[in-house]
Amino acid sequence: AQAAQRLAQRLATRGPQLLSAAVAYSKPRLATFWYYAKVELAPPTPAEIPRAIDSMKAMVRSFQTGRLAQLTVKEALRNGLVATEVLMWFYIGEIIGKGGLIGYNV
């Protein structure tokens, strides 16, 4: 009982100091996070959609011409990671939509 009382007293005296240190530590990191979140998580603008379509057409064209065999390991790894990320976001959306990991409630 005395140990709990000492802990509560310590927390009451050092709590505001710890809180201000946590705020000072996280403020610049949160500012950086929000900056990148606004840029990266924004939906595409109407001007970006045709560029994305052209990029997809170029990728299909390069696949048809055999450029796929000329990729460097770094490019292939990057493309694989992007494809994996897109697939995982699809699966996460499915799990959220289903409301569970297994099957749909029918």
Tens of each residue's pLDDT in the chain, 106 residues: 888 998 888 888 888 888 899 899 999 999 999 999 888 888 888 999 999 899 889 888 888 888 778 888 998 899 899 999 999 999 999 888 888 777 776 6
> CA 61 → CA 54, 82, 84, distances in Å?
10, 19, 22
pLDDT at res. 53? 93
Are 104 and 98 in contact by the 8 Å Cβ rule? The answer is yes
User: pTM of the prediction?
Assistant: 0.45
Give residues with Cβ within 8 angstroms of 99, minimum separation 6.
105
| Domain boundaries, given as residue ranges, for the chain | 1-70
pLDDT at res. 106? 63
Look at residue 46 and give its three-state secondary structure.
Answer: coil
